Chains A and B, each alone.
Chain A
Amino acid sequence: MFNPDIIKPENLVYKRTSVLTDNVMHYCPGCGHGTIHRLIAEVIEEMGIQEKAICVAPVGCSVLAYNYFDVDSQGAAHGRAPAIATAIQRLYPDNHTFTYQGDGDLAAIGTAETIHACNRGENIVMIFVNNGIYGMTGGQMAPTTLIGMKTATSPYGRDVALNGHPLKITELLADLPGTYYVTRQSVQNAASVRKAKKAIRQAFENQKAKKGTSFVEVVSNCNSGWKMTPVAANKWMEENMFPFYPLGDMKVDGQKVSK
């Protein structure tokens, strides 16, 4: 299939990062999880911290994240990743412990662990993939599900009287003194991917400098759960998710960014 002449060092413009394993990812085509994994892995490779990186995977679609990151990893119970990462990082203060969690994991069942890890200013990197739904269990309502959004457990659309409000946990975390860097990103096109990668790099750099908690939310699609094609899902995300979850930095160098 390949012309072997092409595979020469001088022709090499892109290479899959060595921090991802060869395992075939199980994510739905078009899902953001795979892209976000790649960005984290690239940052780890570029910073040369593979030997120090420790991934704490959640329960959710990314439950098997540890099969893809070629770093030492632990699978957490649902929502408990920040507590687990707290201990690992405190016991190995020169390591790079990071959590990777969905919205159900981080902002519903694990809210207490999330808030307290951030408030203690644990020197960890937290990656938060907000797709507004419980992808793994078949598309039920998440704490971040938008008002009016239809899910398996809000079949007529999220109704505030019945279901309460969507939780902007990232805004809440930006208010805590322990967080050093809080940002909201996305990965639906090349420009946003580049920005998200920069944010993830910043988070790991902060950790290296022992600055406290760096929190990167990535608003992402769940095309299967939203019952849309990947392209339609990204369009819907831009039109509906971004207005409610505006992209950009919320806190940089420990200072809230004024808007």
Chain B
Amino acid sequence: MAKELKLMKGNEAIAEAAIRSGCDGYFGYPITPQSEVMEHLMAEKPWEKTGMVVLQAESETASINMVYGGAGAGKKVMTSSSSPGVSLMQEGMTYLAGAELPCLLVNVVRGGPGLGTIQPSQADYFQTVKGGGHGDYRLFTLAPATVQEMYDFVFLGWEMAFKYRNPVMILSDGAIGQVMEKLYVTDYTPRWTNEEIAEKCPWSTYGKPSTRKHNIITSLELEAPKQEEHNHKLQAKYAKMEEDEVRYEMVNCEDAEYVFVAYGSSARIAEKAVQLGREKGIKVGLLRPITLFPFPKKIIAELSTKVKGLLAVEMSAGQMVEDVRLAAQFRCPIEHFGRFGGVIPTPHEVLEALEEKIIKA
């Protein structure tokens, strides 16, 4: 596939990827630090290029329900927002998960709680991977660390969403959303025709031909045993994701005595801290989870038997660290280092935290 080099913000990369990946519809509501997603789409006028629908909704509640409608009708639809807006979308997300609708969601996380700050944060981890809405459900969650990954994960997101009939979340943050980097963009993938939709999504509500029964998209079940059965089906799907779809990256872990566990922006900072540590003679590496659900439990369990300590680095007061501890089963010291509320840690702070909390302790 031909590739073209561009310079873009992470948010713009999401929008560009949407157009080029055959997305049928984007529905959103402005919020900093992700407004460039819709701004880029509106400027590009993809409805003239690919027929993609772009609509500024009256709220995030409306956007996520527009996503529900489009996804239920078999279209590739998406929305993006930042923390306060994503909180408003939680109702829609649990309905999407319950009705098993494939779609793409993007959260360019900012500092919370409440209206918080507009600076980068990773404090929406719990909300995303533990299910911010009600009921037992999971979002397939991808954590990009570069502008290139913002672009690439849109494609990967569609793949996972339709493979599992499940909402996919790209959990980014204000830093990756705003930073400008070079990236390679791919050729335009055509949108699915209505015939392709009927073939790929035979369950969807595109209009009932006389040859089949009517399709119904719903998350409602009146009988508890049937709802339990549906839950079992969902759980089996999530288990399959945990089995087959875990993605992570390791940097300098072969001989590492200590390992940082960090995703997204924090992983880039931690990677620099690895370099600083190595310069000082500390054998330190980095494990970067790329999928947050499914979480890379096995590799963390493995590392925990080999290393002298794990440090979870997050821009939160300590959320992912809980999953690191669960995976590592306390087989080695596991600590957390975070700055939060919109403050970004420096690589020096991260290395210092490793020395203070783990090496010296």
Q: Which residues from chain A sit less than 8 Å from chain B, CB to CB?
A: 21, 50-54, 56-57, 63-64, 66-67, 69-77, 80, 83-88, 90-92, 95, 112-113, 116
Contacts and interface: CB of A to CB of B under 8 A. Distances in A.
A83 B219 contact: no
17 contacts: A53-B208, A54-B205, A57-B218, A63-B220, A72-B204, A72-B206, A73-B216, A74-B68, A75-B217, A75-B220, A83-B66, A87-B53, A87-B68, A88-B72, A91-B69, A92-B206, A113-B61
Contacts of B205: 54, 72-74, 88
Interface string B97-124: 0010000000000000000000000000
B23 to A, nearest CB: 11
A72 B197 CA distance: 14
Contact of A80 (B53, B61, B73, B215): B61
Among B70, B72, B92, B220, chain A packs the most CB atoms within 10 A around the CB of: B72
Interface of B: 24-25, 27, 53, 55, 57-59, 61-63, 65-70, 72-73, 75, 77, 91-92, 95, 99, 194, 204-210, 214-220
A86 B68 CA distance: 11
A83 B69 contact: yes
Given A66-B214, A87-B73, 5 more contacts: A72-B207, A74-B68, A74-B205, A77-B91, A92-B206
Nearest to B76: A91
Contacts of A54: 73, 205-207
A91 B218 contact: no
B25 A83 contact: no
Nearest to B75: A91
A174 to B, nearest CB: 19
Contact of A95 (B99, B207, B216, B220): B207
A88 B69 CA distance: 5
Among B66, B204, B206, chain A packs the most CB atoms within 10 A around the CB of: B66
A75 B91 contact: no
A99 to B, nearest CB: 10
B214 A74 contact: no
A91 B207 contact: no
A77 B218 CA distance: 9
A196 B205 CA distance: 27
A72 B205 CA distance: 5
Contacts, number: 129
A83 B208 contact: no
Which DSSP category, helix, strand, loop or mixed, fits chain A's interface? Answer: mixed
Among A52, A83, A85, A113, chain B packs the most CB atoms within 10 A around the CB of: A83
Given A51-B207, A80-B65, A88 B217 contact: no
Nearest to B218: A75
Nearest to B24: A91
B274 to A, nearest CB: 45
A77 B65 contact: yes
Contacts of A86: 55, 62, 66, 69
B217 A91 contact: no
Contacts of B214: 21, 66, 69-73
A235 to B, nearest CB: 33
Nearest to A85: B69
**A-B interface, 6 closest residue pairs, ranked by CB to CB distance from nearest:** A84-B69, A75-B218, A72-B205, A87-B69, A83-B65, A87-B66
A52 B194 CA distance: 13
A91 B70 contact: yes
A91 B68 contact: no
B185 to A, nearest CB: 25
Contacts of B61: 80, 83, 112-113
A74 B218 contact: yes
A134 to B, nearest CB: 17
Contacts of A52: 207
A53 B209 CA distance: 10
B209 A76 contact: no
Contacts of A91: 24-25, 53, 69-70, 73, 75, 77
A92 B207 contact: yes
A76 B210 CA distance: 24
A172 to B, nearest CB: 15
Nearest to A63: B220
Contacts of A72: 204-208, 214-216
